[in-house]
Amino acid sequence: MAEKDITEKLLEDYPDVFADIVNVLIYNGKDTVNADDLEMSGTLSQYKAANTIHGQDRDVAKYWTKGQVRIGLLGLENQTSRDPDIALRVIGYDGAAYHDELKQGDARYPVVTLVLYFGTDHRWGQKSRSLYSVVGAPDEELGHYVHDYKANVFEIAWLDDETVAKFKSDFRIVADYFVQMRKNHKYIPSVQEMKHVEDVLNLLAAVSGDQRFQITQNEPEERKISKMEDWLTKALEKAAEKGMEKGMEDGLDKGMAGRLIKCVDSLMKNEGYSKERACSVLDSTVDEYEKAKNLLDETAVVI
């Protein structure tokens, strides 16, 4: 969980990505927030409970300014699973920010927190986003005095195609990946150029668990690959090469055949590749693929 949290923060902390997320989710794609108008904000705040000082840390937060005027404080919170207490958490973050305004003198500006939910199996649902869902709805009389604080949850995997197309930064690649995986359980790579290559790949590797996106730290040339399609092609070639090398070391002809079959079948099933293209990506041929299948009898296990 810590790895996921860190990688999400790294990508979203870039001003161009942060502004893009806000512009699409709040302003329907209009270029309202300029990356140059964003300033760093501290993410750590403190509160006192049971006579003890506790810390609470936002994921990403930035001040939105125009010249010397501070328009607001914008925050992003990332979730890979549903949190029934999300409203209480957001109240804590926003309340601490407003308390800081009191200490700053005359500065007064709104605080807005967006919760980005990356789950693909289940929707978040409306009932678990509000204060009432945590403490229960008060009776009619008390309800006049208890405001139902609601978290602004955006389900990334359930964004429609029109909304995804409005993203201009690398976050478009991220959103497209989660939408495709939710709809089709497979991913056809985007042709969009990546600006923050390492952070996009690390985020997808951590959140999805798909090691095809994992960067090898001792191969700096990988960071120069700017298209997802090119990256996945290279990753699959590396995986196939590694599997073949291991098979040769162990002298396992059937193991080599099994790995080739598994890689080709995976490309055809999960990526929509033709048999010819899948074999070509793996530096093999359809003839070699068919020979590998013939080598394995019906009881062979493909590893």
Whether the pLDDT of residue 90 is over 50: the answer is yes
Closest among 232, 273, 229, 238 to 259, alpha carbons compared: 238
pLDDT band at 221 (very low <50, low <70, confident <90, very high): low
User: What gap in Å lies between CA 281 and CA 161, rounded to an integer?
Assistant: 29
User: What gap in Å lies between CA 158 and CA 115, rounded to an integer?
Assistant: 14
Structure tokens at 51: 């006579």
CA distances 91 to 36, 120, 148, 151, Å, are: 28, 26, 11, 8
What pLDDT digit, counting tens, does each position of 98-114 carry? 888 888 877 789 999 99
- Highest mean pLDDT of the ranges 50-54, 132-136, 223-227, 230-234: 132-136
Average pLDDT, the chain: 79
Average pLDDT value for residue range 212-235: 66
Average pLDDT value for residue range 7-11: 74
pLDDT band at 57 (very low <50, low <70, confident <90, very high): low
What is the structure's pLDDT at 133? 86
CA distances 247 to 241, 279, 300, Å, are: 10, 18, 15
CA distances 38 to 73, 107, 155, Å, are: 9, 17, 24
Structure tokens at 89: 């958490």
Average pLDDT value for residue range 274-293: 81
Closest among 62, 18, 15 to 43, alpha carbons compared: 62
What is the structure's pLDDT at 137? 85
Gyration radius of the chain's alpha carbons? 24
Whether the pLDDT of residue 142 is over 70: the answer is yes
Of 64 and 1, more confident: 64
